[in-house]
């Protein structure tokens, strides 16, 4: 049992999945004394044992059902594709009044997958802490990950307001700034700020890997400027990202279509030597950079 101050927000928090995000949240909950007990379930080989050895939680195992028993907060921190099976399994074991929340990078599909499996009287508060790194696993987490970053909540119109407030308070206490929006808007915004950039980084690094051998070697050796950033992004967890693209298909394909059209126009400008077109676009994008800096996101 954690000796949490009496101000603990939750009695028992069950974290399903204790990779980068789950383990960071466990650390932050500990540090800020937000739960009396932290129970963890993870299917990864040896992951639960490592989480326990790292002192991240009070209980750990592979069985999500055991973890959620008696929990007043269940937080899914698994790749989004796993949500449906987990919800189906834990549904019957959830305590009345329990809150189920998640940290998934996609929201509309996740709600579709989880909501039908929750019994009446259990509150679903879908969320997305917009903070992360390209690392994965329980060793790569840290309590400060969330500080000063946004947490987007996408509650349904019917969701109990007190449940939403409690989840918001959890994220606030670990340092996040809360924003609420509808799931579709979330998915469109993230498709461009996060999903498309990852898709492109994966693609370009893949293109480099397929080059003739002598070029590929040199690309790695001289991986300057832009490419270095891209390899970092493209080092992100394959399963997590597979699930993001499979579950935010529509929004990603739509923004990809626009991107491709814009890229084709630039390709044409390069082919025909249209310097003015290039310079005009390159000037316009500077303004966006400035806006991002002013929004304190840089």
Ligand X SMILES: NC(=O)c1ccc[n+]([C@@H]2O[C@H](COP(=O)([O-])OP(=O)(O)OC[C@H]3O[C@@H](n4cnc5c(N)ncnc54)[C@H](OP(=O)(O)O)[C@@H]3O)[C@@H](O)[C@H]2O)c1
**Residues near ligand X, by CB under 6 A:** 16-17, 19-22, 41-44, 47, 64, 77-80, 82, 85-86, 103-105, 128-129, 132-133, 136-137, 237, 240, 244
286 binds, among ligand X, a copy of itself, none (CB under 5 to 8 A by kind): a copy of itself
Verify binding: residue 142, a copy of itself, rule CB under 8 A.
Answer: no
For a copy of itself, the closer of residues 63 and 184 by Cβ is 184
Nearest C-alpha neighbor of 47 from the set 64, 71, 31: 64
Return the residues of window 7-66 that contact a copy of itself according to CB under 8 A: none
271 binds, among a copy of itself, ligand X, none (CB under 5 to 8 A by kind): a copy of itself
For a copy of itself, the closer of residues 120 and 287 by Cβ is 287
Question: CB of residue 2 vs ligand X: minimum separation in angstroms?
Answer: 21
- Name the token pair of 240: 């997590």
Question: CB of residue 120 vs a copy of itself: minimum separation in angstroms?
Answer: 32
Return the residues of window 183-242 that contact a copy of itself according to CB under 8 A: 185, 188-190, 192-194, 196-211, 215, 218-239, 241-242
Measured between alpha carbons, how far is 77 from 15 in angstroms, rounded to an integer?
A: 7
42 binds, among ligand X, a copy of itself, none (CB under 5 to 8 A by kind): ligand X
Options 70, 150, 165, 173; binder of a copy of itself; rule CB under 8 A: 150
């Amino acid at each position: 049992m954690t000796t949490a101050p009496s101000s603990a927000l939750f009695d028992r928090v069950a974290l399903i999945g204790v990779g980068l995000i789950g383990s960071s949240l466990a650390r932050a909950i500990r540090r800020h004394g937000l739960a009396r007990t932290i129970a963890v379930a993870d299917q990864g080989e040896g992951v639960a044992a490592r989480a326990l050895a790292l002192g991240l939680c009070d209980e750990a195992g592979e069985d999500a059902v055991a973890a959620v028993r008696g929990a007043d907060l269940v937080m899914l921190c698994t790749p989004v594709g796993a949500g449906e099976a987990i919800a189906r399994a834990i549904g019957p074991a959830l305590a009345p009044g329990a809150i189920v929340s998640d940290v998934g990078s996609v929201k509309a599909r996740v709600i579709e997958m989880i909501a039908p499996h929750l019994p009446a009287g259990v509150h679903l508060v879908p969320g997305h802490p917009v903070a992360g790194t390209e690392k994965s696993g329980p060793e790569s987490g840290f309590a400060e990950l969330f500080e000063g970053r946004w947490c987007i909540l996408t509650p349904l119109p019917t969701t109990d307001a007190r449940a939403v407030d409690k989840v918001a308070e959890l994220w606030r206490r670990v340092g996040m700034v809360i924003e609420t929006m509808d799931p579709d808007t979330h998915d469109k915004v993230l498709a461009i700020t996060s999903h498309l950039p990852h898709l492109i980084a994966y693609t370009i690094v893949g293109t480099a890997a397929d080059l003739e051998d002598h070029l590929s070697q040199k690309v790695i050796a001289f991986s300057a400027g832009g490419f270095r950033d891209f390899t970092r992004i493209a080092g992100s967890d394959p399963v997590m990202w597979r699930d993001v693209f499979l579950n935010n298909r529509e929004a990603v394909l739509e923004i990809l279509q626009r991107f491709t059209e814009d890229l084709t126009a630039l390709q044409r400008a390069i082919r025909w030597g249209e310097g003015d077109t290039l310079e005009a676009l390159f000037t316009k994008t500077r303004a966006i950079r400035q806006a991002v800096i002013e929004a304190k996101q840089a």
